[in-house]
Amino acid sequence: MNLDHIAETYVKLVLAVGVHDESYVDAYIGPAAWRDDAKTQAVPLNTLLAQADALIAHSKSLPPAPQDQTERHVFLGLQIAAVRAHIAFLNGTVLPFDEESKVLYDAVSPTLTPADLDKTLAELDGLLPGEGDLNQRLSHYNKQFEIPRDKLDAVFSAAINEARARTRRYIALPDNESFSVEYVSGKVWSAYNWYKGNSHSLIEVNTDFPMFISRAIDLASHEAYPGHHVFNVLIENELVKEKGWIEYAIYPLYSPMSFLAEGSANYGIEVAFPHVERMAFEKEVLFPLAGIDPEKAERYYQIQAVLQRLSYAGNMVAKRYLDGEIDRETAINMLMTYSLSDAERSAQRIRFIEKLRSYVINYNLGQDVVQAYIEQRAGKQDQEKRWAVLTDLLRQPKSASMMLT
């Protein structure tokens, strides 16, 4: 078996796993016949496990790849290991949180205790108006930053068009790349990018919960420019079509691809909208479009920056809950205390954690690892360089351990 052959076998294996778990194949742009073949019968999980083991052995015994394919080989090896772990999971093998994230995402989140978060909570205590319960105060304060439902599309469209214009200044994208936006409900996520191939994405925005003004740019950048949509466009055009690296025609959700996808999509927000430029655009365009007083923007974003530091609380709660250290109710209460999300949001968050498990680390740890990788090479100030390193990373995907070495 050579690398291309291993790649093809991997794609077919992921398709076969997708027959057992419909959330597994996040995007597929490979030959339709392969997918149709996979769907004709459900291959037993034990058989798939044996196939994964054989593929791992083949990949390991492959002689060193030529220079330009070394990273391709390493990354594919990690992807295959993640497929194996997910087959085992579907077959009943549930790993402890950290072991699971290691094999699925090639990363382990730092262990946090509530005490680590107390300092940040104290800081918020000084920033939020009122007294007493922080969660209620934040919830009350945030109300004035809700985008009214009838203005949501105008605000989100403005954000996404701006993110697109900024991204296209630095990343050459095909002329036909496009996206559409739909508003949906009843989901565990707040937005989702479905990549459809031919440089097109469907972006779904969940309207179950109020959308706050900070989410407009966050979602526009994360889901689309330079986030998921751009990543998929580059993969399709440069890796699958130009290089013929067929493994990139499929995206298994629980794999190192997601660590890079979520991490770069989150860090991409700041690349597309450095703080000063973001504040200007928020005050001049988005706040007025949403009918929110732009005078309130500075304090609001100061608070957002502090809240950002609480994001690892979600990993802590997910780990404790999934490892069986705390029950569901305690987990929801901890999210309310340490993530400061209200009761309904916390319940939604728990449903997300139950469904996607250690996937949660991809957002914050992913962002931090991608940020460190890019800033080590480009610094914080040189925008052009930052875009260049980000683009290279998306064109030649690296896992967490590859970025950290």
The residues that touch Zn ion, with contacts defined as CB under 5 A, are: 262
User: How many Cα atoms sit within 13 Å of 215 on the Cβ side?
Assistant: 17
With respect to Zn ion, which residue has the nearer C-beta, 162 or 262? 262
Q: Which is nearer to Zn ion, 218 or 262 (CB)?
A: 262
Q: How far is the CB of 267 from Zn ion (least distance, A)?
A: 12
Residue 236 CB, nearest distance to Zn ion (Å)?
A: 17
Of 10 and 194, the one with the shorter C-beta distance to Zn ion is: 194
Q: Which is nearer to Zn ion, 18 or 268 (CB)?
A: 268
CA distance 252 to 139: 36
Please state the φ and ψ torsions of residue 309, each to the nearest 5 degrees: -70, -15
Distance (Å, rounded) from C-alpha 91 to C-alpha 89? 5
Q: Which residue is nearest to Zn ion (CB)?
A: 262
CB of 222 to Zn ion, least distance (A): 6
DSSP 145: G
Min CB(228)–Zn ion separation in Å: 6
CB-side neighbour CA atoms (13 Å) of 253: 18
332 Cβ contact partners less than 8 Å away, ≥ 6 residues apart: 343, 346, 347, 350
Length of the chain, in residues: 405
Q: Which residue, chain included where needed, has tokens 């920056």?
A: 305
Asked whether 309 and 299 are in contact (CB, 8 A), the reply is no
Q: Tokens for 252?
A: 């298994």
Rounded Cα distance between 93 and 199, Å, is 37
Phi/psi of residue 234, nearest 5 degrees: -65, -45
Q: Which residue number, 192 or 287, has a Cβ lying nearer to Zn ion? A: 192
For Zn ion, give the closer residue by CB, 59 or 201: 201
To Zn ion, the closest distance from the beta carbon of 262 in angstroms equals 5
